[in-house]
């Protein structure tokens, strides 16, 4: 069998991992929910535990997907801003700075702009027009400011200029914002003065502060805001950038792993990351990212994607939502959906030629209603795998499997070695 025939897939239950729940007889939702298809995959393969980033480190979905796609987040992750920009569909290029933003309501007091409402009453319409007005502002110090609006008051910003491209070549990747937030995070506070944390972005930080003032001047006169004020709604008369990060220096997926990659996910942030590294990002019909999502469509789209991309990652978002909602029964329901997705893989993927990993991107224990650093249950199946004795998919059964304990960025090499596309290290 040649490497070109072989395929690999990672099936991810977002926020899948959990802790023992007293109401479920001290089982986790995954252990309590019958999962015949996932158990069948476990029986065919090897099981183990996976730390998305490192033992005990609660991962975000973004850093965890960096890792599972084979990019060590400690080496490459540069913060939420650039991913947010990618997620809303902005183009992001190496040498750019990216930010998350809010449209907000401010009032002038002496020289300060005081934040009155950080979300401009969750402004529901007109931000596209406000964005267009901001995008017509001229560059400052040869730096372009490119904004795109998102849901409600949310938006993203990209700063781009030749001096930035040159300067950022010398800046090491770090998750800390390299320009501090202008968003004061609290109402009643003035918009903060953004400051450079490295000399290479000093000019950019000064330009950003000036742009925020210019943005206020444009927004406060804008017809959308005049109409809002006439209707006694707070105007979206300021934009508050935060979470600045430079575009991460990631080599394209195909170059790195020797195979094309496909992505079938629901979160914009992860889709944006996939596009950035040149993966084939597919939309599954009926996928909503919510409890009502068409999970069968996600699984079928992922299986179909294997025709053109020998590696595919597919993520079901819903288990994470149930974790955040603190609802173990709902989480079991969503795990039943994940199990049906595994059923689609069992029935429709050619299992002799397809290596499959099943795991989560982080734990979202219902008791915490947030992400935790608890490890995730992992299955690896495929041609040539040395199957172990574990035949039940759950946190504790997987803890007794032959893989032992690995990290998120180990999974992709474990799969590419099975399908014969891994690069040799050494002679």
| Contact positions vs Zn ion (CB under 5 A) | 14, 61, 320, 361
Length of the chain: 427
Q: Closest distance between Zn ion and the C-beta of residue 317, in Å?
A: 7
Q: Closest distance between Zn ion and the C-beta of residue 172, in Å?
A: 26
- The one-character DSSP state at 302 is H
Q: Closest distance between Zn ion and the C-beta of residue 64, in Å?
A: 6
Q: Which is nearer to Zn ion, 61 or 78 (CB)?
A: 61
Q: Which is nearer to Zn ion, 27 or 371 (CB)?
A: 371
Cβ 366 vs Cβ 328: under 8 Å:
yes
Nearest residue relative to Zn ion (C-beta): 61
Q: Closest distance between Zn ion and the C-beta of residue 15, in Å?
A: 5
Q: Which is nearer to Zn ion, 4 or 288 (CB)?
A: 288
**Among candidates 413, 407, 402, which has minimal Cα distance to 57?**
407
Cβ 219 vs Cβ 133: under 8 Å:
yes
Q: Which is nearer to Zn ion, 18 or 149 (CB)?
A: 18
Q: Closest distance between Zn ion and the C-beta of residue 263, in Å?
A: 14
Q: Closest distance between Zn ion and the C-beta of residue 312, in Å?
A: 18
Q: Which residues face 71 on adjacent strands?
A: none
**Among candidates 134, 148, 156, which has minimal Cα distance to 242?**
156
Per DSSP bridges, beta strands 112-117 and 97-109 are antiparallel
- The residues near 347 (Cβ < 8 Å, ≥ 6 apart) are none
- The residues near 403 (Cβ < 8 Å, ≥ 6 apart) are 46, 47, 48, 49, 378, 380, 388
Q: Which is nearer to Zn ion, 14 or 410 (CB)?
A: 14
Cβ 18 vs Cβ 28: under 8 Å:
yes
**Among candidates 410, 416, 405, which has minimal Cα distance to 50?**
405
Largest CA distance in the chain: 74
Query: CA-to-CA distance for 1 and 52, rounded, in angstroms?
Result: 32
Q: Which is nearer to Zn ion, 58 or 184 (CB)?
A: 58
- The one-character DSSP state at 278 is T
Q: Closest distance between Zn ion and the C-beta of residue 364, in Å?
A: 5
Q: Which is nearer to Zn ion, 18 or 361 (CB)?
A: 361
Per DSSP bridges, beta strands 46-51 and 376-381 are antiparallel
Q: Which is nearer to Zn ion, 63 or 259 (CB)?
A: 63
Q: Closest distance between Zn ion and the C-beta of residue 362, in Å?
A: 5
Q: How many CB atoms lie within 10 A of CB 138?
A: 7
Phi, psi (5° rounding) for residue 255?
Answer: -65, -40
Q: Closest distance between Zn ion and the C-beta of residue 138, in Å?
A: 40
Q: Which is nearer to Zn ion, 117 or 320 (CB)?
A: 320
């Amino acid at each position: 069998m040649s490497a070109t025939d072989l395929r690999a897939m990672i099936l991810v239950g977002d926020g899948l991992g959990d802790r023992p729940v007293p109401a479920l007889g001290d089982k986790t939702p995954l252990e309590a929910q019958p999962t015949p298809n996932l158990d069948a995959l476990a029986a065919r393969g090897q099981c183990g535990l996976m730390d998305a980033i490192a033992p005990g480190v609660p991962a975000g979905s973004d850093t965890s997907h960096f890792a599972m796609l084979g990019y060590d987040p400690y080496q490459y992750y540069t913060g939420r801003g650039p991913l947010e920009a990618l997620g809303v569909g902005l183009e992001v290029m190496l040498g750019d700075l990216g930010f998350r933003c809010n449209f907000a309501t401010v009032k002038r007091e002496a020289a300060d702009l005081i934040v009155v409402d950080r979300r401009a009453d969750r402004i529901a319409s007109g931000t596209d027009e406000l964005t267009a007005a901001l995008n017509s502002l001229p560059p400052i110090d040869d730096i372009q400011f490119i904004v795109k609006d998102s849901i409600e008051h949310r938006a993203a910003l990209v700063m781009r200029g030749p001096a930035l491209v040159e300067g950022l070549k010398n800046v090491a990747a770090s998750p800390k914002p390299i320009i501090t937030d202008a968003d004061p995070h609290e109402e009643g506070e003035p918009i903060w003065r953004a400051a450079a944390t490295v000399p290479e972005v000093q000019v950019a930080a000064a330009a950003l502060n000036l742009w925020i003032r210019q943005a206020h001047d444009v927004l406060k006169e804008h017809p959308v805001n005049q109409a809002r004020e006439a209707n006694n709604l707070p105007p979206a008369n300021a934009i508050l950038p935060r979470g600045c990060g430079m575009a991460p220096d990631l080599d394209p997926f195909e170059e790195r792993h020797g195979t094309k990659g496909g992505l079938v996910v629901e979160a914009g942030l992860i889709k944006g990351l996939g596009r950035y590294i040149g993966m084939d990002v597919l939309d599954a019909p009926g996928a909503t990212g919510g409890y009502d999502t068409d999970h069968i469509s996600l699984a079928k789209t992922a299986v179909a994607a294997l025709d053109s991309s020998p590696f595919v990652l597919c993520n079901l978002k819903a288990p994470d939502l149930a974790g955040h909602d603190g609802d173990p029964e709902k989480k079991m329901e969503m795990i039943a959906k994940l199990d049906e997705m595994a059923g689609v893989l069992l029935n429709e993927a050619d299992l002799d030629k397809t290596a499959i990993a099943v795991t989560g991107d982080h734990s979202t224990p219902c008791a915490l209603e947030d992400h935790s650093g608890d490890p995730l249950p992992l299955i690896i199946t495929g041609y040539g795998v040395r199957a172990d004795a574990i035949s039940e998919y759950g946190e504790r059964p997987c803890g007794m499997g032959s893989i032992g304990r690995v990290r998120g960025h180990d999974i992709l090499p474990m799969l590419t070695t099975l399908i014969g596309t891994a690069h040799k290290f050494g002679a």
